[in-house]
């Protein structure tokens, strides 16, 4: 295989985590004020995809699922250097939990004839980390999560990854195609060059696919999602003394008291 | 429309029973969260009047103490899938074996540790079983109507209840430290059963080339935790001095772990461990909600920070606005004198 790898990177538009808040009086989520941004761990995924392309050759295609406005995160990925982008957009996707979401992305990856699919460790708005393993499971492909570093081996059709495991690391070789979830913060995402950024935000148009285009129109959405949100409550703050002390002696008193 | 779509994928809910716990083991060492899950799983199984089943996968695990210990910690039955393909852990053979067992044995609830391995496994197996999977649950409850899995949402400001009405098993991952591990009781009785292994090495998609794991610190059982944040600017030695003096463990925020100043096993917070010590001393920690979520069940919290407006003070019982570099050496000296004095009088 000399013409390089088909690399897909999955990205997600999320509300800026620093701007989402809960109204302490009403308990209602204040999401509207938050700016829509690319999920921050996804920057590590895009960077890893570009680095592998730089070594192996081939193309990087960014894929997202969301409303039409989600093309903003595809522009971010293209600005960083992705070659192509696909927007999965359809009202049928609404209400999907991680099961149908990973199905749609898995079908898109198949459609793109992917050798490697990248994703971030988890999203900042739902923090499950379940979508990359879900994509791999739907396609019966290999998966590598919590990845710290990559050694592409195109001559063997394999990708070797260093994974973070409790108390250490492991190096795992996976047959292609493989789904990789990069550990958050493990590489230095590049900034978009000015010309590339202008191209991404003006001339560039992503390909749009509906649920029917990837053959999942009956398998996505709220109705087929195994999990549902049954309720949301504001978390009760733990009562604390909140007493400020003046000197270290007094601090030591309180510590000795507990001991 | 919803009913029609559901009919294709939904499980026969009534046909599913029992509570399963995935026993995470690496070369015979069991991840501590496994025992915590057996504790919670026992409660749920008793409430349902069903069995608590521990699933052990690995190579030559039958000859280890693991099946007996699972029984001593509450399991009614232990299923053992023993094969070289299961050591070390890999998602693809584990996933296929689990799919098979779920199809044949139809568990109602499954609990998996929220470690890297557990999350890798859970995400893999939820798909072919069409299970409902909830990440990082902190409360699990069987109400009159249904099984409710609760998890923090929006950085811990809210608690979301997740339900799984039409699919089985109802799976969740749980971070280490959320539930209490029961002490082993050797008088407990249970059955150990070998299950049919449905995967072979030639079907696997991955190969572990190398695995380096040192001693894994367990901060979740510590009675005293001394934790450091970015305010330390990498100067973590005083944390260790104070922790050693008090017989406690050192912990850190995510940022500190990412800087490489303290090992990942000691990370407290939303993406790390949950700790519930008698005393939590937060040094140079601002108190971001993602960190507080992992320590706010501590009995007493002490905060040292040079920023009077740091949110950690709202989450502390006693606080001092001062530079850690001034406070810690003096605090260590005073405590050493007092503890020595106590020993003399004792």
Report the gap between the CA of B133 and the closest CA in chain A (Å). 7
Mean pLDDT over each residue of chain A, to the nearest integer:
93
Mean pLDDT over each residue of chain B, to the nearest integer:
92
Assign B134 to helix, strand or coil. strand
User: How large a percentage of chain A has pLDDT more than 90?
Assistant: 81
Chain A partners of B330 at a C-beta cutoff of 8 Å?
A: 248
The predicted-structure confidence for A33-48, as pLDDT tens digits, reads as follows 788 999 999 999 999 9
pLDDT at position B346: 61
Of B162, B207, B213, nearest to A165 by CB-CB distance is B213
**CATH class of the region A5-225:** alpha beta
Domains of chain B in start order, with CATH, are 2-203 (3.40.50.620), 224-345 (3.40.50.1220)
Tell me how far apart the alpha carbons of residues A130 and A96 are, in angstroms, rounded to a whole number. 13
Tell me how far apart the alpha carbons of residues B320 and A123 are, in angstroms, rounded to a whole number. 35
pLDDT at position A168: 84
Contact between chains at B211 and A136 (C-beta distance less than 8 A): no
Report the gap between the CA of A160 and the closest CA in chain B (Å). 9
Tell me the DSSP string of chain A. --S-EEEEEE--EEE-TTT-EE-TTT--EE-TTSPEEE-HHHHHHHHHHHHHHHHH-EEEEEEEES-GGGHHHHHHHHHHT-SEEEEE--GGGTT--HHHHHHHHHHHHHHTT-SEEEE-S--TTT----HHHHHHHHHT-EEEEEEEEEEEEGGGTEEEEEEEETTEEEEEEEESSEEEEEPTTSS-PPPPPHHHHHHHHTT---EEE-TGGGT-TTS-SGGG-S-EEEEEEEPPPPP---EE-SSHHHHHHHHHHH-
Q: What is the mean pLDDT of residues B39-61?
A: 98
The predicted-structure confidence for B177-214, as pLDDT tens digits, reads as follows 899 999 999 999 999 999 999 999 889 999 999 999 87
What is the b/e burial string over B40-79, where b = at least 16 CB atoms within 10 angstroms of the residue's CB? bbbbbbeebebbbbbbbbbeebeebebbbbbbbbbbbbbb
Q: How far is CA A213 from CA A86, A97, A111, B291, in A?
A: 12, 20, 10, 43
Per DSSP bridges, beta strands B158-163 and A228-234 are: antiparallel
Query: CA nearest B254: which of B214, B314, B294?
Result: B294
* pLDDT at position B345 over 90: no
Tell me how far apart the alpha carbons of residues A200 and A203 are, in angstroms, rounded to a whole number. 6
What the block records as the tokens of B284 is 């140079």
Per DSSP bridges, beta strands B158-163 and B147-153 are: antiparallel
Of B133, B159, B302, nearest to A98 by CB-CB distance is B133
Q: What is the mean pLDDT of residues A188-202?
A: 95
The predicted-structure confidence for B118-169, as pLDDT tens digits, reads as follows 999 999 999 999 999 999 999 999 998 899 999 988 767 788 999 999 999 9
Tell me how far apart the alpha carbons of residues A133 and B90 are, in angstroms, rounded to a whole number. 12
Of A132, A137, A168, nearest to B213 by CB-CB distance is A168
Contacts (Cβ under 8 Å, ≥6 apart) of B331: A248, A251, A252, A255, B242
Q: What is the mean pLDDT of residues B259-273?
A: 88
Chain B partners of A244 at a C-beta cutoff of 8 Å?
A: 313, 318-321
């Amino acid at each position: 295989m000399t013409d390089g790898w088909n690399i897909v990177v999955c990205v997600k538009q999320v509300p800026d985590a620093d701007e989402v808040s809960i109204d302490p009086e009403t308990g209602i989520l204040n999401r509207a004020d938050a700016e829509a941004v690319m999920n921050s761990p996804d920057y590590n995924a895009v960077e890893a995809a570009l680095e592998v392309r730089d070594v192996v050759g081939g193309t990087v295609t960014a894929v997202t699922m969301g409303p039409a406005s989600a093309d903003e995160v595809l522009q971010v990925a293209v600005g960083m250097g992705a070659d192509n982008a696909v927007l999965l957009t359809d009202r049928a996707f609404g209400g999907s939990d991680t099961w149908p979401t990973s199905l749609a992305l898995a079908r898109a990856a198949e459609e793109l004839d992917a050798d490697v699919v990248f994703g971030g460790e988890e999203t900042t708005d739902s923090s499950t980390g379940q979508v990359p393993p879900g994509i791999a499971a739907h396609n019966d492909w290999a998966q590598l999560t919590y990845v710290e570093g990559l050694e592409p081996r195109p001559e063997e059709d394999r990708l070797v990854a260093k994974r973070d495991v409790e108390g250490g690391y492991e190096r795992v070789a996976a047959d292609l195609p493989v789904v990789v979830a990069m550990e958050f913060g493990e590489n230095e995402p590049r900034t978009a060059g000015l010309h590339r950024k202008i191209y991404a935000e003006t001339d560039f148009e992503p390909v749009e696919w509906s649920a029917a285009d990837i053959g999942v129109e009956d398998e996505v959405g709220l109705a087929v999602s195994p999990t549902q949100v049954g309720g949301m409550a504001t978390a009760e703050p733990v009562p604390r003394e909140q007493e400020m002390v003046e000197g270290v002696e007094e601090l030591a008193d309180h510590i000795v008291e507990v001991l | 429309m919803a009913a029609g779509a559901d009919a294709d994928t939904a499980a026969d809910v009534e046909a599913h029973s029992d509570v399963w716990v995935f026993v995470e083991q690496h070369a015979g060492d069991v991840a501590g969260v496994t025992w915590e899950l057996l504790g919670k799983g026992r409660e749920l199984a008793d409430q349902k009047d069903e069995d608590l089943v521990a699933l052990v996968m690995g190579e030559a695990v039958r000859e280890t103490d693991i099946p007996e210990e699972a029984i001593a910690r509450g399991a009614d039955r232990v299923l053992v899938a023993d094969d070289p393909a299961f050591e070390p852990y890999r998602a693809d053979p584990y996933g296929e074996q689990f799919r098979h067992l779920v199809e044949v044995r139809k568990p109602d609830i499954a609990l998996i540790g929220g470690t890297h391995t557990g999350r890798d496994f859970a995400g893999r197996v939820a798909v072919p079983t069409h299970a409902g999977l909830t990440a990082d649950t902190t409360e699990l409850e069987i109400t009159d109507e249904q099984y409710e899995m609760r998890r923090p949402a929006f950085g811990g400001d809210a608690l979301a209840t997740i339900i799984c009405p039409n699919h089985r098993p109802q799976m969740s991952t749980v971070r280490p430290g959320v539930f209490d591990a029961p002490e082993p009781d050797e008088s407990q009785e249970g059955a150990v059963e070998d299950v049919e292994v449905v995967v072979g090495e030639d079907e696997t998609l991955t190969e572990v080339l190398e695995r380096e794991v040192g001693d894994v610190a367990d901060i979740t059982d510590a009675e005293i935790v001394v934790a450091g944040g970015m305010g330390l600017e990498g100067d973590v030695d005083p944390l260790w001095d104070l922790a050693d003096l008090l017989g406690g463990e050192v912990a850190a925020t995510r940022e500190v772990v990412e800087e490489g100043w303290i090992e990942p096993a000691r990370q407290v917070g939303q993406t790390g461990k949950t700790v519930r010590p008698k005393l939590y001393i937060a040094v140079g920690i601002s108190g971001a909600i993602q960190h507080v979520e992992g320590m706010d069940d501590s009995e007493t919290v002490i905060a040292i920070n040079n920023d009077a407006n740091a949110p950690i003070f709202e989450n502390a019982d006693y606080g001092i606005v001062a530079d850690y570099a001034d406070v810690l050496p003096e605090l260590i000296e005073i405590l050493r004198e007092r503890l020595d004095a106590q020993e003399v009088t004792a």
